Amino acid sequence: MVTPNPLPDFSLLPLPAIHFGAGRFSRLAGLAGSFGKNMLVVTGAHALQQSGRLSNLMESLQSGGMRSFHFVVDREPSPELVDGAVLEYKELSIDVVLAVGGGSVLDAGKAISAMLRYDLPVERFIEGQEGFMQHDGRKVPFIAVPTTSGTGSEVTNNAVISRVGRNGFKRSLRHVALVPNIALIDPELMVSVSPELTAASGMDACTQLLEAFTSPFSTPYTDALICSGLERFSRSFLSACADRAGDSGVRGDIAYAALMSGIALSNAGLGIVHGFASSVGGLIDIPHGTLCATLLAEATRENIVQLRSIDGSLPALQKYAKAGAILSGVADKELYAGCERLLETLQEWQELLSFPRLRSFGLTLEDLDGIVTATRSKSNAVQLDEAAMKRILLKRL
C-alpha cells in the first residue's frame, strides 16, 4: 500500500459574500442598503453611464431611501486621486463605498474605503514607500462590482496604487480586512466590453491563474480553483474576443476564471509577469492587462527552460504541462510535450490577438537594466537572475 503524501500546511484569506450570475446587478441596491443610508458610488468615466445602468442604479438607491454621491475614476488610481476623493467625502458620513468598473475602479474604491477613516495620506500605507505604516484594517464597508474580467480585485485584500514616471511606483495598499464585504459579478455587465479590452483583461486573469498554479506557495485548494478557472477560460476566451462577445454565458466563463484567479493569487502569490507589472508599470503608462498579455508567453518559456535545467520532472513543470492540456484541449503523455503545448497555445493567442510590444508604450533598451534590478518575484515558479529577466523583456521590446 502506497502512503499518500501529507497535505501541506496552509492558511486562507477570507472571502467576500459572493453573488454571481446574469442579472444580479438588479439586486445591488438592496444589498447596499444593509450598510446604511449614505453611499459613495465609484465608477469609470463612460461605459456605465452610456449604458443607462448608472442612472438606473441611482434611481433604485434613491427609491430605497439612500443618499448617493458619485466619484469618477478615469485612470489607474494614484495617491493623489485617492487622497482627493477622501478629502471630498470624508465629512459626509459615508456608510458604504460601491465600486462598479474595471480593475482600476475597484482598486480606487477599495483604497478610498480603506482611507476614509484616516487623516493621513494613502502613500504612508503603500508597501515599499518611505515612512511605510501598516494599515490596521479600519475601513468603510466596500462592495465590488467588476465590469471587466481580469484582475480579480473583487476578492483580493489589496489595492494597487501607482505613480508613473522615472521615480514612479506601482505597489499595494494591503490588509486582510480590505477584502470587499460583497462581490457581485454579473456577466451581463461585460457583454459590451471591446475586443481589445476583453483580450487584455482576459490575459491578466490567465496570467494570474498560471502564476498562482506554479507558485511554490500553491496548495491543493488553490490548485482546484485554478484548474476550474482554466477550464472555463479555455472554452470561452477566444469566443469572448470575437463572434460571441455578446453572449452572457461566454462572458460568465471568463468572469468565473477571473474570480478564481483573484482567490488563487491572494492565497498563493504571483510570478515574474506581475513582478514586471510593478517595475515596468511604475515607469511607463501601460495598461496592466496589456502588460500581462504581451509578456506571458515569453515569461512562461523562460520559466520552463530554467526549470528543465534544474530537474526535468519538477512539480512546476508538471503543472505547466497540465495547464497546456487544459488550455489547448490536447493531453500529451510526455511532460516536455505538454509544456510545449502550453507555449504553442500562448504564442498562438499572442499572434492572433496582436498583443502590442513594450516599445509602443515608450519603453527603451536603456530602461531594461534598471527594471530588472528593481523587479522582485518571490512567488515565481523558479528564481530568475537578471539575465533571464532581461531576456523576457528583450523578446517583447
What pLDDT sits at residue 332?
A: 83
* Whether 157 contacts 267, CB under 8 Å: no
User: What are the pLDDT digits (tens) for 261-317?
Assistant: 999 999 999 999 999 999 999 899 999 999 999 999 999 999 999 999 998 788 999
User: What are the pLDDT digits (tens) for 73-109?
Assistant: 988 999 999 999 999 999 999 999 999 999 999 999 9
222 pLDDT above the threshold of 80: yes
Beta strand 158-163 with 169-174: parallel, antiparallel or unpaired? Answer: antiparallel
Map out the domains of the chain as residue ranges.
17-190, 195-396
Whole-number Cα distances in Å, 347 to 198, 236, 275, 353, 386: 18, 17, 21, 10, 23
Higher pLDDT, 210 or 166: 210
Query: What's the chain's length in residues?
Result: 397
Residue 50's pLDDT band, with cuts at 50, 70 and 90, is confident
What pLDDT sits at residue 383?
A: 95
What pLDDT sits at residue 1?
A: 53
Higher pLDDT, 155 or 56: 155
* Whether 35 contacts 180, CB under 8 Å: no
User: What are the pLDDT digits (tens) for 111-147?
Assistant: 999 999 999 999 999 998 888 999 999 999 999 999 9
The CATH class for the domain spanning 17-190 reads alpha beta
* Whether 253 contacts 44, CB under 8 Å: no
Longest Cα–Cα distance of the chain, Å, equals 67
CA pair distance 110, 139, nearest whole angstrom: 9
What pLDDT sits at residue 60?
A: 86
* Mean pLDDT over the full length of the chain: 93
Residue 49's pLDDT band, with cuts at 50, 70 and 90, is confident
Could you name the CATH architecture of 195-396? Up-down Bundle (1.20)
User: What are the pLDDT digits (tens) for 59-77?
Assistant: 888 888 899 999 999 889 9
239 pLDDT above the threshold of 60: yes
